[in-house]
Amino acid sequence: MSTTLEPPVRARRLTKTVGDRLVRVAEAATTPYLPADFMDLFAPLRPGADLRGRIESVDPETADAATIVIRPGADWAGHVPGQYLRIGIDIDGVRQWRAYSLTHGPRRDGRISITVKAVPDGLVSNHLVHEARPGTLVHLEQAAGEFVLPPEGGKFLMVTAGSGITPVIGMLRNLFPSTDEGVLRPPRSAEHDIVVVHVAPSHPHSIFIRDLEALDAAGAVRLVARYDDEHGVLDVDDLATLVPDLAERTTLACGPAGLLDALGAHHEAAGLALTTEQFRTARVEPGDGGTVTFASGATLDLDGATPILDAAEEAGMLMPSGCRMGICMGCVIPLREGSVRDLRNGAITTAVPGETGDIKVQTCINAAAGPCHIDH
């Protein structure tokens, strides 16, 4: 290691203090706002800004799925194929956060992409597939997730169902880039022996099926496609038949909870390793009342008619409060998980961890609508 490449410590400290002073002056000149609030007007993707991105294109994959290509802000730290990203987009004026798998390996042009399947009643997925337009500014978080392939390679079985293919396609595209000359097999893919068991309702409804078929034809992976309308619903006990060397492989699975649970039981019984990825946490249907858990550890069983604030105070908890009629916002606290109902008009607010993030709700006019967790 050479030390001459590093600037002398004293000079660095000097530039740092000069920089700090400039920042302090800029802050003093813009208070109560931050210099960033003004810079965001002109350069929302600049280094140092909150992480955002701009949609560059929306490319249809099937009738109800599309790949969204995004130019991320300058501070995008990159990702490993298989990881997902949380994206926040304003729909009808309301910021909605969801998690989607990145469906490309790191791209040379620095763009990132997610592939979204519009699910029935899916507010965000339908918006992204059918309404989103290039040029829209979206809010991002850095890539995250442990659902990645070990770089040293090995023998793998990927079990994917429906849009569960998305993290896997990111891995496969990175290992076997598809070009005009066909599927490439760069050195980094030499040590990977991959079988993909992909489940979908039917061939035309299968996202990325052409990519999978091309990879299979080129001998990069072995594809076992199972369509519900053709082969019936997959029984996990058939895996040993579909993949004879199942025991030698590490299984990575991504799909709906039902499949992952069945696979978990199957692999546990067989003593096999399994890594899973699931996006949609089991969603609770809003009901009347429910158990409210507070960050302090307290829990309250509430009916559907009592404001959370009243019940919590009744239980002796110290709660922020104000007008107690829903106008002053003095009582808002974050709802981490679960649903609450606005007692004035029945409107339901639902927070899903990892997707919506915390949602601030007014406790004085909201009652529990199912089990919820409140950060207070």
Partner 1 sequence: MTTIQKKSVLGQDNPIAHLTEADIEQIGIELDAIRQDVLDSRGAADAAYIRRVIDTQRKIELGSRAVLLFSAFPPAWVLGTLGLSVSKILDNMEIGHNILHGQWDWMRDPKIHSSTWEWDMASPAEQWKHSHNELHHTYTNVIGKDNDLGYGIMRVDEDQPWTPASLAQPVFCFINAVFFEYGIAAYDLELGSVIAKKQTKDPDFRRRAKQVLGKIRRQATKDYVVHPALSIPTGSFLPTLAANFTANIVRNLWSNSVILCGHFPEGVETFEKRSIDGETKGEWYVRQMLGSANISGSKALHIMTGNLSHQIEHHLFPDLPSNRYAEIAPKVQALFDKYDLTYCARPMPQQVYSAWHKVVRLSLPNGWLKTTNVKNAPQQLGILYKMATGDRRTRRLLGRKLESEARAAA
CB atoms within 10 A of CB 74: 13
| C-beta of 45 vs 148, nearer to partner 1 | 45
Edge to edge, what strands does the sheet with 65-72 contain? 94-101, 84-91, 137-140, 52-62, 65-72, 112-117
Q: Binding to partner 1 by residue 360, rule CB under 8 A? A: yes
* Cβ–Cβ < 8 Å for 199, 161: yes
Supply 158's token pair.
Answer: 């990927």
Q: Binding to partner 1 by residue 347, rule CB under 8 A? A: yes
* Cβ–Cβ < 8 Å for 78, 106: yes
| C-beta of 214 vs 332, nearer to partner 1 | 332
CA dist 243 and 237 (Å) reads 11
Q: Which stretch binds partner 1 (CB under 8 A): 36-44, 186-194, 233-241, 303-311?
A: 36-44
Q: Binding to partner 1 by residue 272, rule CB under 8 A? A: no
Q: Which stretch binds partner 1 (CB under 8 A): 37-45, 229-237, 240-248, 277-285?
A: 37-45
**Which residue of 3, 5, 9, 32 would you call a contact of partner 1, by CB under 8 A?**
32
Q: Which helix (H) or strand (E) covers residue 19, if one does?
A: helix 9-30
What lies within 8 Å, CB to CB, of 345 at 6+ separation is: none
| C-beta of 68 vs 333, nearer to partner 1 | 333
Tell me the β-bridge partners of 85: 100
Q: Binding to partner 1 by residue 35, rule CB under 8 A? A: no
What is the closest distance, in whole angstroms, from the C-beta atom of residue 324 to partner 1 in the complex? 8
Q: Binding to partner 1 by residue 318, rule CB under 8 A? A: no
**Which residue of 2, 3, 4, 31 would you call a contact of partner 1, by CB under 8 A?**
31
Q: Binding to partner 1 by residue 329, rule CB under 8 A? A: yes
| C-beta of 155 vs 344, nearer to partner 1 | 344
Q: Binding to partner 1 by residue 295, rule CB under 8 A? A: no
Q: Which stretch binds partner 1 (CB under 8 A): 224-232, 269-277, 301-309, 341-349?
A: 341-349
* Cβ–Cβ < 8 Å for 115, 163: yes
Q: Binding to partner 1 by residue 5, rule CB under 8 A? A: no
Q: Binding to partner 1 by residue 235, rule CB under 8 A? A: no
What is the closest distance, in whole angstroms, from the C-beta atom of residue 14 to partner 1 in the complex? 22
Q: Binding to partner 1 by residue 359, rule CB under 8 A? A: yes
* Cβ–Cβ < 8 Å for 72, 44: no
Q: Which stretch binds partner 1 (CB under 8 A): 14-22, 118-126, 218-226, 319-327?
A: 319-327
Q: Which helix (H) or strand (E) covers residue 227, if one does?
A: strand 222-227
Size of the residue set binding partner 1 (CB under 8 A): 31
Q: Which stretch binds partner 1 (CB under 8 A): 7-15, 230-238, 259-267, 340-348?
A: 340-348
Q: Binding to partner 1 by residue 325, rule CB under 8 A? A: yes
Q: Binding to partner 1 by residue 38, rule CB under 8 A? A: yes
Stretch 72-91: interaction string toward partner 1, x if CB under 8 A: ------------------xx
CA dist 24 and 167 (Å) reads 43
Q: Binding to partner 1 by residue 332, rule CB under 8 A? A: yes
Handedness of CA 237, 243, 245, 248 (dihedral sign): negative
Q: Binding to partner 1 by residue 330, rule CB under 8 A? A: yes
Q: Binding to partner 1 by residue 22, rule CB under 8 A? A: no
Q: Binding to partner 1 by residue 29, rule CB under 8 A? A: yes
Using CB atoms within 10 Å of the CB of residue 63, give its burial: 0 to 12 exposed, 13 to 18 middle, 19+ buried: exposed
What lies within 8 Å, CB to CB, of 108 at 6+ separation is: none
Tell me the β-bridge partners of 137: 54
Question: Measured between alpha carbons, how far is residue 319 from residues 211, 295, 298, 303, 334 in Å?
Answer: 55, 12, 13, 19, 12
What are the respective helix, strand and coil percentages of the chain, to the nearest 5?
Answer: 25, 30, 40
* Per-residue DSSP letter, 318: -
* Cβ–Cβ < 8 Å for 117, 201: no
Q: Which residues bind partner 1 (CB under 8 A)?
A: 25, 28-33, 37-38, 41, 90-96, 322-323, 325-330, 332, 344-345, 347, 359-360
